[in-house]
């Protein structure tokens, strides 16, 4: 029985818009294709906001199609204006190259590097860096009109607010279209997938291939994922929820999903796990306190995919010990400090800022007034509180922020 890719995308919530749904549906049913998604390299890690795109890569690869991961080593030098209210800071080539190397590692947790349809990695710096500008404008500039580019939401937003949109950023749209054409030439890439804010850029690529190659290619966009409260997916008060294992522990990643709003849980199960629709339907019947069962399953499944089954089980066990037994657990995030420093005494405020439990002095005071901090499960009331060896339980001190965030300080 043939599994219909677009039906899966629609049922899981991945589908937003398509340049030619009927033709793409037929193509995916009858041929195994190369398709790609591009990722900017503005940081050393992607965060949960990119996870929907990664799940699209994973789903189509499992159906036998070949995913092409485009790392934007070239376009990141310019900056994508899509969905941005201001220009991005320009990064150096060395920084971008380091980011490319770091980001590439993330995909190995989600995509297969074996078989006929193993993941392919490309860096658009390889073809953009050596472009002759005059030849590029002559050969491709004629295929783009300023009139149409001004209608794109990413451009209209900035212009309507009378915000600056540099010519540098304006070129990004042309380069992304050129990327699609280049991947069509080198990998017979027939589909580009991206977020809904990329629609204009993707359509440009489809039309460039049609005009220069007389061939049909396709574009598909995914919806913008926000929380039920309207917040952007993947951000917390502690910052971004990183996908790099060195940036965020498996326990903190597990906790992010465990702490999902009740209203978001079923949607997240569809988007970010591979549970069957039948299993998710059963979980959707849970209500009241029982919804926590669905949250734990969500946290387990999402963490297993990124960090592996063993780390997911450790995170669950750590959570049980921390919240049920009220005991310490070695799998909690841990900061090691010299015992000699504890003997002298360390400012609690500085330590809480260091581990991300406060963003500033004023944030610390505000949280303190709300009785948000605990040392070894005891409330803190003194803003001049010091950490010292008297708080050691064995060689460890547990710091807590609210009911769900904990960090160990280990004396060495």
Confidence check: pLDDT of 247 > 80: yes
Same structural domain, 294 and 358 = no
Per-residue confidence at 389, pLDDT binned at 50, 70, 90? confident
Same structural domain, 70 and 200 = yes
Number of domains composing the chain: 3
pTM (2 d.p.): 0.79
User: What's the pLDDT score for residue 77?
Assistant: 85
Please say which residue of 262, 292, 325 terminates a domain. Answer: 325
Domain of residue 121, CATH code = 3.40.50.620
Same structural domain, 88 and 186 = yes
Could you tell me if residue 72 is inside a domain?
Answer: yes
Torsion angle in degrees (nearest 10) through CA of 92, 94, 97, 102:
-100
Same structural domain, 406 and 276 = no
Range of the domain at 297: 249-325
Same structural domain, 257 and 174 = no
Same structural domain, 63 and 152 = yes
pLDDT digit string, tens, across residues 329-383: 566 788 888 888 888 888 898 888 888 888 888 888 888 888 888 887 777 878 8
Same structural domain, 266 and 375 = no
**b/e map 230-269, b = 16+ CB within 10 Å:** eeebbeeebebbbbbbebbbbbbbbbbbbebeeebbbbbb
Same structural domain, 321 and 349 = no
Could you tell me if residue 232 is inside a domain?
Answer: no
d(CA 407, CA 405): 7
Neighbours of 275 (CB within 10 A): 16
Could you tell me if residue 237 is inside a domain?
Answer: no
Mean pLDDT over each residue of the chain, to the nearest integer: 88
Per the CB < 8 A criterion, the answer to whether 302 and 296 are in contact is no
pLDDT digit string, tens, across residues 85-138: 455 567 899 999 999 999 999 999 999 999 999 999 999 999 999 899 899 989
Same structural domain, 307 and 212 = no
User: What's the pLDDT score for residue 240?
Assistant: 84
Same structural domain, 28 and 144 = yes
């Amino acid at each position: 029985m043939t599994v219909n890719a677009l039906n899966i995308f629609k049922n899981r919530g991945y589908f937003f818009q398509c340049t030619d749904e009927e033709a793409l549906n037929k193509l995916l049913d009858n041929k195994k294709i190369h398709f790609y998604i591009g990722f900017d390299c503005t940081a050393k890690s992607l965060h949960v906001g990119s996870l929907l795109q990664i799940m699209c890569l994973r789903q189509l690869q499992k159906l036998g199609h070949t995913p092409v991961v485009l790392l934007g080593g070239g376009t990141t030098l310019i900056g994508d204006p899509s969905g941005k209210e201001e220009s991005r800071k320009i990064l150096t080539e060395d920084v971008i190259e380091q980011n490319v190397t770091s980001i590439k590692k993330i995909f190995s947790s989600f995509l297969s590097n074996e078989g006929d349809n193993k993941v392919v990695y490309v860096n658009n710096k390889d073809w953009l860096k050596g472009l002759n500008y005059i030849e590029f404008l002559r050969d491709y500039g004629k295929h783009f009109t300023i009139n149409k580019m001004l209608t794109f939401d990413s451009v209209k937003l900035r212009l309507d607010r009378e915000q600056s949109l540099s010519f540098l950023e304006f070129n990004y749209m042309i380069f992304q279209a050129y990327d699609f054409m280049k991947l069509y030439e080198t990998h017979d890439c027939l589909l580009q997938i991206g977020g809904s804010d990329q629609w204009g850029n993707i359509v440009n690529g489809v039309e460039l291939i049609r005009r220069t190659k007389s061939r049909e290619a396709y574009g598909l966009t995914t919806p913008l994922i926000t929380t039920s409260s309207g917040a952007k997916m993947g951000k917390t008060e502690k910052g971004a929820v990183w996908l790099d294992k060195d940036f965020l522990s498996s326990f903190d990643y597990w906790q992010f999903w465990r702490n999902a709003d009740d209203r978001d849980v079923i949607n997240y199960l569809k988007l970010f796990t591979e549970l069957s629709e039948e299993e998710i339907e059963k979980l959707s019947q849970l209500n009241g306190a029982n919804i926590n069962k669905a949250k734990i399953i969500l946290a387990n499944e999402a963490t297993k995919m990124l960090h592996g089954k063993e780390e997911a089980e450790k995170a669950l066990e750590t959570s049980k010990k921390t919240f049920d037994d009220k005991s310490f657990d070695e799998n909690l995030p841990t900061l090691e400090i010299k015992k000699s420093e504890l003997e002298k005494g360390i400012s609690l405020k500085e330590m809480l800022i260091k581990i991300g439990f406060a963003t500033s002095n004023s944030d610390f005071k505000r949280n303190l007034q709300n009785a948000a901090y605990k040392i070894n499960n005891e409330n803190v009331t003194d803003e001049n509180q010091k950490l010292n060896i008297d708080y050691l339980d064995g060689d460890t001190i547990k710091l807590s922020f609210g009911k769900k965030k904990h960090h160990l300080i280990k004396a060495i």
